[in-house]
Structure 1
Amino acid sequence: MTQYSIAENFNQYFKIRFADTKELRQEAYKIRYGVYSTELGWEPENDLQMEIDECDHYAYHCLLEHRRTGVFAGCIRLIIPPPNDPNKQLPFEANCLQSAKKEVFDTSSLPRGSFGEISRLAVLASFRRREKEKNIPYVLNNINPETIYSEEERRNFPNIAMGLYLGGISLASLCQHQGMVVMMEPRLNRRLKRFGLPFEQIGDVMDYHGQRAMFYLDKKNFHKDLTEQLEELYAIIHKDMTEQIKLVNFGKNTPFNIPNIDLSNHF
């Protein structure tokens, strides 16, 4: 039997998708609603059954598509504040700056638009089922019973969040960002470090949907320290993202790119 690497196996079942249309962005909002509103209760429910906030007007979204069924398993976004509008903040700037350790790293030293914040990572509960639940029938989006995933497919489920993180990092790399900020639990940061993503803690732990802190990843560490298998997966994801994204370059006076899509129409 052919032995596939983690990257090859993952790529067999999942594909990164850049949300360059209103319809794809709405798929991300629906996943977020299912996780953040229905499941966790962190955000209010609404009739549209989509979770959206003011940052989505300057955020770029990635989805992870399950190839066999076409179901979107999860999503992540990279928020890039417009350089010409200082009133449009990143979530950590609006909610967490009081915890910042500016002596470690001061994000205000970075040009606006040259960095972003990764947030709203969400994975559907159906792709987080434990092994003992694998025989419980369920249907997603009115898809027939063949939607129930095989044991081989389930072995890839724990890597979904990592695939989404790598998608967000690839997007930041394509935008020529100097770095990125993430609000996360310290224990998640320890796990990411083991995989080769050395986020640096730049804020005190605070109560922000649980005990979380600000972490920063410099561009020099976007992927060079990844484990060999995850570096292979990053290469696949980065190639897919490169083929999907059209970028706008603002010239030498503004050292970054942004994806060339219209974010004005969400609904």
Structure 2
Amino acid sequence: MLMFRDSHFDGLLADCPDLHTRCHRLRYQVYCVEHAYEPRDQPLAGEEHDAWDSAAVAFLLTHRASGVDVGTVRLVLADSPDGLPFSRAMAGHPLHLPECRGRVAEVSRLAVSKTFRRRVEDTHAPWNHPLERPLQDGAPAHPGPLFGLLRCLYAWCREAGIPGWCAMMEPALARRLAAIGIVGEVLGPVIDHHGRRAPYHFPLAAAEVRLRAQQPALWAYITGAAGPAGAAEAPQGRRRTGV
């Protein structure tokens, strides 16, 4: 399902087998080939899967001009029978869970293709490093694929009534997000998990207030209020789409 369309990207809810396959293939490229976080020898050749996919909602970002799949991310819901992925990763480490943990979902398997990043670097596209150069009021620069994926996540969560996200994240990325108003609460220590990462909780209500005040143009983009070209279609309910 199309969640939004802007001048560069289509944001899609993966609600059919074809879109799911494309998400898993992109995950394989990034997690198994480019970074070797997961083994290349997967049960389904060329696709990366794990135990939480059946309890998750997945999103896909495509580049409109080329048709290339740029990025994917999933949201593992709180009622997952295996719990949330970060809880297993943090087993044996102290955790300070948020009070609303029964309604918080986990953002994971965030992947943006290195092949696409290299391609746009060759053309000096404006979204090479969106966190170092956040969108400013009146600036023509596009905020980039990361924020396109965040736009999908935000729209779905607002419709579903999910109050916040958890994520395993590099502290440096958490600091860059905080600098533009997306402030995470640290839930535990830094561990070795796909690199040096720590668990964070991001309350959506607090992020909304800060983004609206500190980055109004980025806020307008994420909420789909940036104009007709960027207006988002409404998500259609709390459908779990994992396979």
Scaled by the length of structure 1, what TM-score is found? 0.73
Kindly report which structure 2 residues correspond to 1:216-231, keeping only aligned pairs within 5 A, or say none.
216-226=201-211, 227-231=215-219
**Residue of structure 2 in register with 1:77 after alignment:** 74
The CA deviation at 1:111 is: 5.8
2:21 equivalent to 1:32? no
CA distance in 2, matches of 1:111, 1:239: 31
Residue 239 of structure 1: CA displacement? 5.0
Letter in 2 for 1:162: F
Give the Å deviation of 1:157: 4.0
The aligned residue for residue 120 of structure 1 is 109
2:230 paired with 1:236: no
2:100 matched residue in structure 1: 110
Amino acid at match of 2:87: E
Contact 1:78 1:172 in 2 (8 A): no
Structure number with larger C-alpha Rg = 1
Match of 2:185 among 195, 200, 207: 200
Query: Which secondary structure does the structure 1 equivalent of 2:6 belong to?
Result: helix
Task: Find the residue that maps to 1:203 and give its secondary structure.
Answer: coil
Q: Check if 1:89 corresponds to 2:83.
A: yes
Distance (whole Å) between structure 2 residues aligned to residue 262 and residue 196 of structure 1: 30
What is the RMSD of the two structures over their aligned residues, measured on CA atoms? Answer: 2.4
Distance 1:20 1:101 in 2: 33
TM-score norm. by structure 2 comes to 0.80
Corresponding residue for 1:140?
Answer: none
Contact 2:14 2:241 in 1 (8 A): no
Please give the alpha-carbon distance, in whole angstroms, between the structure 2 residues aligned to 1:215 and 1:53: 21
1:48 to 41, 45, 65: 45
Moved over 4 A (4+): none
1:232: Cα distance to partner?
A: 1.4
Report percent identity of matched pairs. 28
Q: Does 1:165 align with 2:153?
A: no
Residues 108-165 of structure 1 show CA distances to partners (whole Å, capped at 9, x for unaligned) of: x4363x210001110111221177x62xxxxxxxxxxxxxxx54xx223432123213
Could you give the per-residue CA deviations for residues 71-129 of structure 1, whole angstroms, max 9, x where no partner exists?
A: 210001110042xx6x4211011121433442xxx24x4363x2100011101112211
Q: Distance in 1 between matches of 2:46 and 2:34?
A: 12
Residue identity opposite 2:232 in structure 1: D
Indicate whether 1:156 and 2:127 are aligned: yes
How big is the shift at 1:169? 2.9
Spell out, residue by residue over 1:151-194, the C-alpha distance to the aligned partner (whole angstroms, 9 max, x if none).
Answer: 4xx22343212321332233222211122101101110010011
| 1:12 equivalenced with 2:2 (yes/no) | no
- Residue number in structure 1 paired with 2:236: 246
Conserved? CA contact 2:75–2:107, under 8 Å: yes
- Are 2:169 and 1:177 aligned? no
Separation in 1, partners of 2:118, 2:108: 23
State how far apart, in whole Å, the 2-side matches of 1:119 and 1:230 are. Answer: 22
Query: Structure 2 CA distance, aligned partners of 1:36 and 1:26?
Result: 15
Does structure 2 conserve the Cα–Cα contact (< 8 Å) formed by 1:200 and 1:216? Answer: yes
Distance 1:216 1:241, change over 3 A: farther
1:204–1:241 distance in 2 versus 1, CA, 3 Å:
farther
Structure 2 SS opposite 1:99: coil
Q: Tell me, what secondary structure is at the counterpart of 1:38? A: helix
Structure 1: runs of 5+ lacking an equivalent: 1-9, 135-149, 248-257
